[in-house]
Amino acid sequence: MTKRKTTNTKKNKTVKPTQKEKTLSTAVNAESEDQSVEESPAKTASTENAQKTKAVKEPRKEPLKAEAVEETIPEEPVPEVYTTPRRSVAFIGSECYPFVKTGGLGDVMYALPKALIKQNCDVKVILPCYKCIPQEYQEKMVYKGSFQMDLCADGRSFYVGIMEYVWDGVVYDFIDNEEFFTTGNPYTNLIDDIPKYCYFSKAALAALNYMDWIPDIIHCHDWQAALVPVYLRIKFVDTKLTSAKTILTIHNLRFQGIYNIPTIRYWSGLPDYVFNKDALKTGYEDANMLKGGLTYTNIITTVSNTYAGEIQNSYYGETLDAHLRYHSNKLRGIVNGIDYDIWNSFTDDRLYVNYDITNVLEKKKENKRRLQEELGLAQDDHKFVIGLISRLTDQKGLDLVNSIMTQIMDEHTQVVVLGSGDSRYEDSFRYYEYAYKGNVCSNIMYDETRAHRIYAGADALLVPSQFEPCGLTQLIAMHYGTIPIVRETGGLKDTVEPYNMFSNMGNGFTFDRYDAGLLLDAINRAKSLYFLNRWCWDEMVQRDMDKNLSWDNSAKQYKDLYLDLTR
């Protein structure tokens, strides 16, 4: 039954942590003392970033220009100061950039542990050792040990291998079992995924026990790791691990791991009593892995405050709203950030041309032209280029986009789509590319490099989601000086302040109800500002680039939560 992976023999390879080069802040150039510019809204928008800007004296006539910058002052290395007690945290989740990523969860699993290290945390990330992890990482993994683990109701046991990789101060432990993790894509279908993630949740805990690494906090992510708190309180009570507190973060409530009770009971090996309506049972005959985790975990978090409120009502609650209301005393919202090492327009080597806040206005034009060239679009600086980078699913509001596409497309507008998913959206975007040759480009694929280039080359990014727990694309867009056009839901509402034409403040264009007409109106408002008042548009571009979207704030909130839980 149980296969041993051949790589297990690769013992004691030296793992060299590849510390990424620390990058200069995008605003470094603006720190030159010689600059004499008025403090613009772009500068006042973020008090933290404002600290970086030296005193400013004379009024300025137009947005920051590269010519104004004469010299850069090298940054002094700042020693890390830990102000809060140390905590150890095990992150357990199903994907993590750069090993395997299908969406925002992968970004968070990579960036949050890194940010937590700066908050004086000791972090281990536990992931499945999928076959699709690029060879370059598989080769660097070190075999740490293996054992047999009982899993199923009939006592069937499985091999658990632990492969370790240390990178940027974070320890990644991969749970190795060829029987469960052979397919190319981490998620296939529920018939395979249910056993896979029952196994993974239990094996992650068993691996911690095996390594005798007892964390203060076990931080689990989404339904794939939701059985961890259940196993911990039922199958690991007699182990040292039982002292750990658990946090379960909901990155997307739509996915819950629901299947019939006999199947989940068999594969999880959990006792009958957890299949009651207050824990795993849902409806008449199904079990819900996420619901069970929500019951047994100490704290539930989700990735924005607005979403934390929304999921407690029936429209967004995906049938768990009553359960979440019942557990609302342990539910918090903490918004995601973005990793400034990966998402840094000044150092991003995937871009055609690098830029920062001081030269974004010219360099963005160049990125736009090169993007148009690469994608076979008409090369024209004056066109308003709208990007859309997304999984092509109902969640992302693509039916709204489809229904107004003909009205969006005028002779001044281009649309660049990057994504894959439901065939009806893939096909409709392919059709629009054909219908608007030279002005619409539909990249039906997953491509990191292309994503970076679209963030840098587009003028605006569309995120009209039906629901959006946090959303990262609008954050990345802002950080790259691309104006988001979003629906006011979940994290989109918490992170994009609507543009106010009277005060000339805000970060993007927003609409509230899920309505195609309102989306069109938001796009038209964006176009009006772009074509009729470019000065204000450019200021918003700089204001967005200056906004603090890093993980620092959020990591601090997670650290406070860890401390609260372990006092």
Site for ligand ADP contains 446 (CB under 6 A): yes
Beta bridge partners of 281: 287
Token match 């039916």: residue? 399
Closest CB 394 distance from ligand ADP, rounded Å: 12
Listed residue (285, 246, 267) closest to 197, CA to CA: 267
The smaller minimum CB distance to ligand ADP, of residues 107 and 173, is found at 107
Nearest to ligand ADP of 344, 358 (CB atom):
344
* Encoded tokens for 183: 């397919």
For ligand ADP, the binding residues in 262-301 under the rule CB under 6 A are: none
Region of 158-166, 177-185, 443-451, 493-501 interacting with ligand ADP (CB under 6 A): 443-451
The answer to whether the bond into 98 is cis (omega within 30° of 0) is yes
> 403 or 449, CB closer to ligand ADP?
449
Least Å distance, CB 255 to ligand ADP, is 10
Which tokens belong to 485?
A: 């056009």
CB of 454 to ligand ADP, least distance (A): 9
Kindly tell me which residue out of 30, 151, 440, 451 binds ligand ADP, with binding defined by CB under 6 A.
451
Which burial class, exposed, middle or buried, applies to 32 when counting CB atoms under 10 A from its CB (0-12, 13-18, 19+)? middle
Residue 360 binding ligand ADP, by CB under 6 A: no
State the minimum distance, in angstroms, from the CB of residue 320 to ligand ADP.
Answer: 18
How many CB atoms are closer than 10 A to CB 536?
16
- Give the chain's count of helices (H) and strands (E): 19, 18
Q: Kindly write down the DSSP assignment for every residue of 330-343, as one continuous string.
A: GEEE----B-TTTS
Among 138-146, 367-375, 416-424, 429-437, which window interacts with ligand ADP (CB under 6 A)? 416-424
**Binding status of residue 430 toward ligand ADP by CB under 6 A:** no
Q: Nearest approach, Cβ of 110 to ligand ADP (angstroms)?
A: 10
Stretch that binds ligand ADP, among 69-77, 209-217, 281-289, 418-426 (CB under 6 A): 418-426
User: Pattern 295-314, binding to ligand ADP, x per CB under 6 A?
Assistant: --------------------
Asked whether the beta carbons of 249 and 303 are under 8 A apart, the reply is yes
Q: Which of residues 524-563 bind ligand ADP (CB under 6 A)?
A: none
* 103 contributes a contact to ligand ADP by CB under 6 A: yes
Q: Strand pairing partners for 509?
A: 485
Q: If binding means CB under 6 A, how many residues of this protein chain bind ligand ADP?
A: 18
Mention every residue, 6+ apart, whose C-beta is less than 8 A from residue 333.
301, 302, 303, 304, 305, 306, 307, 308, 309, 494
Q: Smaller CB distance to ligand ADP: residue 264 or 418?
A: 418
Tokens for 302, please give them.
């989700």
418 lies in the site for ligand ADP, by CB under 6 A: yes
Smallest gap from residue 419 Cβ to ligand ADP (A): 4
Cβ distance 19 to 166 under 8 Å?
no
Q: Please, are residues 412 and 384 in contact by the beta-carbon 8 Å criterion? A: yes
Shortest Å distance, C-beta 200 to ligand ADP: 19
Q: How far apart are CA 145 and CA 200, in angstroms?
A: 16
| Residue 471 touching ligand ADP (CB under 6 A) | yes
Phi, psi of 290 (to 5 degrees): -65, -40
Within 372-391, the residues that bind ligand ADP by CB under 6 A are 389-391
Residue from 473, 482, 510, 550 touching ligand ADP (CB under 6 A): that is: 473
CA distance 475 to 345: 13
Q: Which amino acid is at 544?
A: D
419 interacts with ligand ADP by CB under 6 A = yes
Q: Is the distance from CB of 458 to CB of 270 less than 8 angstroms?
A: no
By CB under 6 A, name the one of 178, 399, 447, 497 that touches ligand ADP.
447
Closest CB to ligand ADP among 168 and 447?
447
Q: Which is nearer to ligand ADP, 103 or 438 (CB)?
A: 103
The pair of structure tokens assigned to 34 is: 């010689």
- 525 alpha carbon, distance to own chain's centre: 28
- CB 423 → ligand ADP: shortest distance, Å? 15
Minimal distance in Å, beta carbon 433 to ligand ADP? 15
Is there binding between residue 107 and ligand ADP (CB under 6 A)?
Answer: yes
**Least distance (Å) between residue 446 CB and ligand ADP:** 4
Residues 6 or more apart whose CB falls under 8 angstroms from that of 526 comprise 384, 460, 483, 485, 509
Residue whose C-beta lies closest to ligand ADP: 104
Q: Which of 63, 93, 104, 229 binds ligand ADP (CB under 6 A)?
A: 104
Q: What is the DSSP letter of 158?
A: E
**98 contributes a contact to ligand ADP by CB under 6 A:** no
Give the C-alpha separation, 421 to 429, whole Å. Answer: 11
Which residue ranges make up the site for ligand ADP (CB under 6 A)? 103-104, 107, 389-391, 418-420, 446-448, 451, 470-473, 476
